[in-house]
Amino acid sequence: MTKPLEGIKVVELSTYVAVPACGRMLADMGARVVKVESPKGDVWRIHGANNGIRSDEGENPLFDLFNSGKECIALDLKNPSGMEAFHRLLGEADVFLSNTRMKSLVKLGLGWEEMHRRYPGLVYATLSGFGEKGPEAQSPGFDSVAFWAKTGFLADMTVRGENSVPVQHPTSVGDTATGALLLGGILAALLQREKTGRGERISTSLYSAAIWYMGCMVIMAQDKYGLTYPKSREEGGAFRAQFRCADGEWIMVMILDEAKYAQAYFEALGRGDLLSDPRFATVQARRSSKRELFQVVEPIFARRTSGEWLAELEKRDIPCTRLNHFRDIAGSEQAWVNQYIEYEDFPDGGRAVVPCPPIRFGEEVCHTAPAGLLGEDTVRVLERLHYSEAEIRGFLDQGAALGHLRGGGA
């Protein structure tokens, strides 16, 4: 099957997750993505070790997840020869993709104005922490800070209590979500270029993406609407809440159309009589009696296991699920049968379950394979750029480029 982006060339100057995740999806769609790192390498290569996850040549699943399918080269852009090779790459590229801070890009001569003048057909896509204007434009912005903390999620999702602390931020979720937004912009810019022949500047930030994704809360939390956060579990009402079951697990019930499901819900609980109780007979009445209804329903859920309750609710077509754990995904039949997860086999013979990219064309699934080592493709890419063997050896000797072979050597 011909992939939609075959023939498209991407130069990715990136670290960590958000932009690499975007580049990974471009590669999965058929683009040739060259990931350019400094000779020190992307620090994400060794990040897994901070969490007890292997991050070496034999096994590095966290790095592979966002960098599989790319060519990996290492250039010193502060070295004139390294920068000259980088521009030779750009000369044949369709997309430049980076999360390097704009101040640094401009200092390197890689700002939008200069790049657009030199490569008018190039799609120039950048991602920042907080945006390119304002007092925080140059601030570092991991998703923990710019996506989760700054927008209110960590504080306003805190469970109320005397010793409550903010929830620990999810790892790289904001990064991958923002990278997906950047991907959409790049695809639109490539389509526009087909019509105009000119490249466009595409940009987003972790902060702007988070504000968009949390837009409902941003609106509802305004003073004019009177909703305050954190909200207690009871405030959602017994039709939209989580309940602890007899086996210690939690289930979620999420009924938005109460008029349609109220009778079935009460019958599932063995309390069909509640629908004739004036406090719970109508949507408006239940809204005024949320806490009372919650106090009635909560002990009922505690009498049976989560599996029993899910069976009872599902046979009445009531939206519900167990509050699963991250570890449960690796054994999820639904995930396996739809090929949302797969095994990645590592060079040293080990394997692990990894997520598959969520977009597919037809029935083709994009697989995760071990990503290139730091500088693994440097020599091959430089050869493709028509550098001679002597020139390439000169680059390596003077430190303008770094080459690496799996198992050691240059």
Q: What is the residue range of 394's domain?
A: 9-213+340-402
Strands 71-75 and 95-98: unpaired
Tell me whether residue 357 is in a domain. Answer: yes
The CATH number linked to 21 is 3.40.50.10540
Q: d(Cα 115, Cα 162) in Å, to the nearest integer?
A: 55
**Is the pLDDT reported for residue 407 higher than 60?**
no
Confidence of residue 210 (pLDDT cuts 50, 70, 90): very high
Q: Mark whether 349 and 305 lie in a shared domain.
A: no
Q: Do 20 and 112 belong to one domain? A: yes
Q: Where are the beta strands (DSSP E) in 60-173?
A: 71-75, 95-98, 123-128
The answer as to whether 218 is a domain residue is no
The answer to whether the CB of 34 falls within 8 A of the CB of 95 is no
| Mean local confidence (pLDDT), 382-407 | 90
* 257, pLDDT greater than 80: yes
Residue found by looking up tokens 């239940």 in the block: 286
In a domain? residue 331: no
Pairing of strands 320-322, 250-254: antiparallel
**Chain segment 173-204, per-residue pLDDT in tens:** 999 999 999 999 999 999 999 999 999 999 99
What CATH number corresponds to the domain at position 276?
3.30.1540.10
Q: What pLDDT score was predicted for residue 384? A: 96
Q: Is the pTM of this model over 0.75?
A: yes
Q: What is the mean pLDDT of the chain?
A: 94
- In this structure, are 72 and 133 located in the same domain? yes
Q: What pLDDT does residue 133 have? A: 93
Shared-domain flag, residues 192 and 247: no
Predicted confidence (pLDDT) per residue in 61-73, tens digit: 999 999 999 999 9
Predicted pLDDT at 235 = 80
Read off the pLDDT of each residue in 281-288 and give the average, rounded to a whole number.
Answer: 92
The pLDDT of residue 167? 84
C-alpha closest to that of 188 among 259, 125, 273: 125
Predicted confidence at residue 176, as pLDDT, reads: 96
Q: Could you tell me if 189 and 252 lie in one domain?
A: no
Q: pLDDT tens digits for 294-353?
A: 999 999 999 999 999 999 999 999 999 999 999 999 999 999 999 999 999 999 999 999
Residue 220 in any domain: the answer is no
Q: Is residue 222 part of a domain?
A: no
State whether 268 and 207 are in the same domain. Answer: no
pLDDT of residue 121: 98
Residue 254 lies in a domain: yes
Distances (CA, A) of 211 to 174, 208, 231, 295: 11, 5, 19, 34
Q: Nearest-CA neighbor of 119 among 193, 185, 183, 179?
A: 193
What pLDDT was estimated at residue 230?
A: 87
Residue 225, domain member (yes or no): no
- Sheet bearing 240-244, strands edge to edge: 240-244, 250-254, 320-322
State the sign of the Cα–Cα–Cα–Cα dihedral 387, 393, 395, 396.
positive
Neighbours of 409 (CB within 10 A): 7
Domain co-membership, 201 together with 261: no
Q: State the total domains in the chain.
A: 2
pLDDT in the model for residue 405: 59
> For 18-27, 226-235, 351-360, which range has the lowest pLDDT when averaged over its residues?
226-235
